[in-house]
Amino acid sequence: MPFSPLRPTAISPTPALWPALLLVGVLGLQGCSMLRPGVDKDEGDNASGTSPVIAESSSPSFAVEVRAPDTVRGTLQRHLELQRFRNLPDVNASELQRLLGAADANARELLGALGYFAPTITVELTETPDSKAAPRTVVVTVQPGPQTHIASADIDFSGNPAADPEDAKATTRQQQRVQRNWSLSPGLAFTQSAWDSAKTDGLRQLQARRHPTARIANSRAEIDADKHEAKLSVTYDPGPAYRFGPLRVQGSERYDPDGARRLARLPTGAVYDEAELLDAQLRLASSGYYDAVFLTLDTEGTDPQAAPVVAQVREAPLQKLVFGPGFSTDSGARLSLEHIHNKLPGIGWRAVSKLSLDRETKLASTEWTALPDTNGWRWFAGGQVQREDTGDFETNSGRLRSGRSKSTKAIDRSYFLQYDYANSQGAGAPPSGTAVSVNYGWTGRYFNNMTAPTRGHGIAVELGLGTTLRPERDPFVRTLVRWQTFIPAGRVQDDAGQGRNARIAVRTEAGAVLARDGAQVPVTQLFLTGGDTTVRGYGYRSIGARTDNGQLYGGRYMAVGSVEWQRPIVYKGEMTDWESTVFVDAGAVADRAGDLDPRVGVGAGVRWRSPVGPLQADLAYGVKTKEVRVHLRLGFSF
């Protein structure tokens, strides 16, 4: 069928808007004419009572064959209206001719959405009485012609500038970023989905910070079918600049609303930022005081410079008992029982008490925490008793600690006083020890995503100053440093142009306990490594120092390093949620820094991007032990 050239339009990338609407109506009427006779209203409606049920025959009335280049064939095969009607029973010749007459316009509309506005389309009907598939075949042959490309993109903004000069400058910079980040730059192919996505992305950039009420004031896509060019223009209305006002808590009965404000740490008076709002919502949701939290900015009839934030909460029970089975390749099956009291009588602190049992460890612990003060610092106190395998010995230990901590968006800090007791059992076991120490911890997380990072870095430092208590008082210093980074290593794209970055993950960890040789530092302050999160290819905490008779125990020095290449997997031309990885791990523990002898593990694995973080499955070979181990892990933590 010959193609009538399309002329420039300022309404849509296809000029056949009204004919297309008419086509939909005609097809709807034709569909109604093909309903089974004698079907009453109750039988003809579906469960929702909104759409008629169209009877289908067991064998198609006709087959549909699409002959077109790969770039458009999939879309036509999936979305041609002919596909909807081919299974209807008893499609007569006149009805089929009406469908064939509408197929050309339908195909042009679909091709226009892909940027092809000058196609050559032929629709033919062939009788195939001997075919097992269908007695007739409709062949749609398509030559899409040149694809339309972007000639220009004009991104503009309406509205009055902010009265405050600083706000006006910040708004201008934000608008310039929207223009710079515009995804449909000149020279790229035009498609309806890309055009819609580009407009939405620009709007989201405005709404995410400072302008939550931004909207698209006007948008135009002028298509010149003769030149195969598209001229795009969009005008955004940013609306007023907003700042955070006070937090209003709705649904609070059991817990103090002021406590919710201190937990949320919403920066009142700061420029509106969607990320800050979501972070505050996450802090409330993860505090344990609420089962559900939803934060919204009130933009109706309020002062934009002090817009209230409404927190709708559903409070958690005062007390809760949680039973949790689990499994890890490090310690096998695990059972735990946890009791939570959100408001201890008298002091109002939150207490989490836990019993845990697995192959390596038997643990009973309790942790008490107060609500944060106005500066974000909160008191905590806790204690635990534990029986665990420490190298080749069983160790009974106890610990008490108390101090203060503070968590911000990227940084966690704490300082505390700690008492340790440890008694190892078995022939040749290290002597028991007790110690008291003053400790400081600092952790900075600068990842692009806290649950499944693909770039950024994190660093953590622990420092403790203490003294043993028996049989002699010997001072000691304990320090531990951890660092991890993700380095981009190229981009992987699928056939549709969607892509994700491959990356190299580098992780290091180093620790030291400095004391005189004879000091009996509790073994719980010493180092062991190996397992899922440290050196793969070796058992959990199986790398340590050695006694004179070759028995394994905790050492005073530790060094661990890992390099891992992570690459997204493309399957059958489509990007998946899976990634492949190859890695090399190494770690060593000794009583003297000069005796560090690294154990190396090499292997490969896969990652699945689950909603709660990466699910990791690795197969690792321990070079020293000459053993192969499977390592499973869910989630990311640093």
Instruction: State the pLDDT at residue 58.
Output: 57
User: What percentage of residues in the chain have a pLDDT greater than 70?
Assistant: 91
Among 178, 209, 237, the domain-final residue is 237
CB-based contacts of 459, cutoff 8 Å, min separation 6: 443, 444, 481, 482, 483
Under a CB-based contact definition with an 8 Å cutoff, are residues 442 and 411 in contact?
A: yes
Under a CB-based contact definition with an 8 Å cutoff, are residues 241 and 162 in contact?
A: yes
d(CA 378, CA 365): 20
Confidence of residue 97 (pLDDT cuts 50, 70, 90): confident
Q: Are residues 174 and 122 in the same domain?
A: no
Give a yes or no: residue 383 inside a domain: no
- Tell whether the torsion through CA atoms of 291, 297, 303 and 304 is positive or negative: positive
Of the candidates 227, 232, 226, 221, the one whose C-alpha atom is nearest the C-alpha of residue 14 is 221
pLDDT reading at 7 higher than 50: no
Mean per-residue pLDDT of the chain = 87
Q: What is the pLDDT of residues 11-53, one digit of tens each?
A: 333 333 333 333 334 334 333 433 333 333 333 334 344 444 4
Torsions phi, psi for 5 (to 5 deg)? -60, 140
Instruction: State the pLDDT at residue 338.
Output: 96
**CA 626 and chain centroid, separation:** 36
Under a CB-based contact definition with an 8 Å cutoff, are residues 296 and 310 in contact?
A: yes
d(CA 623, CA 540): 16
Q: Return the structure tokens found at 241.
A: 């600049």
- Is cis: bond before 471, omega within 30 of 0? yes
Instruction: State the pLDDT at residue 89.
Output: 74
Q: Are residues 394 and 541 in the same domain?
A: yes
Q: Are residues 416 and 533 in the same domain?
A: yes
* Residue indicated by tokens 């931004």: 214
Of the candidates 65, 72, 71, the one whose C-alpha atom is nearest the C-alpha of residue 123 is 65
Give a yes or no: residue 2 inside a domain: no
pLDDT reading at 435 higher than 50: yes
Q: Return the structure tokens found at 364.
A: 């009973």
Give a yes or no: residue 365 inside a domain: no
Q: Are residues 200 and 64 in the same domain?
A: no
Q: What is the pLDDT of residues 195-207, one digit of tens each?
A: 999 999 999 999 9
Q: Are residues 606 and 518 in the same domain?
A: yes
d(CA 525, CA 55): 74
Give a yes or no: residue 379 inside a domain: no
Q: What CATH number should be reported for the domain holding residue 222? A: 3.10.20.310
Under a CB-based contact definition with an 8 Å cutoff, are residues 64 and 86 in contact?
A: yes
Q: Are residues 470 and 503 in the same domain?
A: yes
Please compute, for residue 636, the number of CA atoms within 13 A of its CA located in the half-sphere on the CB side.
Answer: 23
Mean predicted confidence (pLDDT) in 423-443: 91
Of the candidates 435, 437, 417, 462, the one whose C-alpha atom is nearest the C-alpha of residue 520 is 435
Under a CB-based contact definition with an 8 Å cutoff, are residues 433 and 478 in contact?
A: no
Q: Which long-range contacts (CB under 8 A, 24 or more apart) does 336-340 make?
A: 340/288
Give a yes or no: residue 267 inside a domain: yes
Q: What CATH number should be reported for the domain holding residue 513? A: 2.40.160.50
pLDDT reading at 451 higher than 90: no
Torsion, Cα 107 108 110 112, to 10 degrees, reads: 160
Instruction: State the pLDDT at residue 37.
Output: 38
Q: What angle is formed at CA 42 by the lines to CA 36 and CA 44, rounded to 5 degrees?
A: 30
d(CA 319, CA 338): 11
d(CA 49, CA 56): 19
Q: Are residues 482 and 562 in the same domain?
A: yes
Among 315, 343, 365, the domain-final residue is 315
Among 281, 315, 349, the domain-final residue is 315
Give a yes or no: residue 359 inside a domain: no
d(CA 239, CA 161): 9
Range name among 221-225, 497-501, 522-526 with the lowest pLDDT average: 497-501
Amino acid in the structure at residue 482: R
Q: Are residues 280 and 410 in the same domain?
A: no
d(CA 107, CA 124): 14
Give a yes or no: residue 11 inside a domain: no
Q: Are residues 446 and 554 in the same domain?
A: yes
Q: Are residues 65 and 132 in the same domain?
A: yes
Confidence of residue 232 (pLDDT cuts 50, 70, 90): very high
Q: Are residues 310 and 220 in the same domain?
A: no
Q: What is the pLDDT of residues 109-166, one digit of tens each?
A: 999 999 999 999 999 988 877 777 778 888 999 999 999 999 999 999 998 777 778 8
Give a yes or no: residue 354 inside a domain: no
Q: Return the structure tokens found at 525.
A: 């302050």
Q: Are residues 397 and 541 in the same domain?
A: yes
Under a CB-based contact definition with an 8 Å cutoff, are residues 142 and 76 in contact?
A: yes
Instruction: State the pLDDT at residue 481.
Output: 98
The domain containing residue 278 runs over which residues?
244-315
pTM: 0.74
Instruction: State the pLDDT at residue 429.
Output: 82
Q: What is the pLDDT of residues 325-378, one digit of tens each?
A: 887 777 778 899 999 999 999 999 999 999 999 888 899 999 999 999 989 999
CB-based contacts of 157, cutoff 8 Å, min separation 6: 175, 235, 236, 237, 238
Work out how many domains the chain is built from and give that number. 4
Task: For residue 258, give Cα distances in angstroms to 251, 301, 446.
Answer: 13, 25, 29
Range name among 76-85, 309-318, 589-598 with the lowest pLDDT average: 76-85
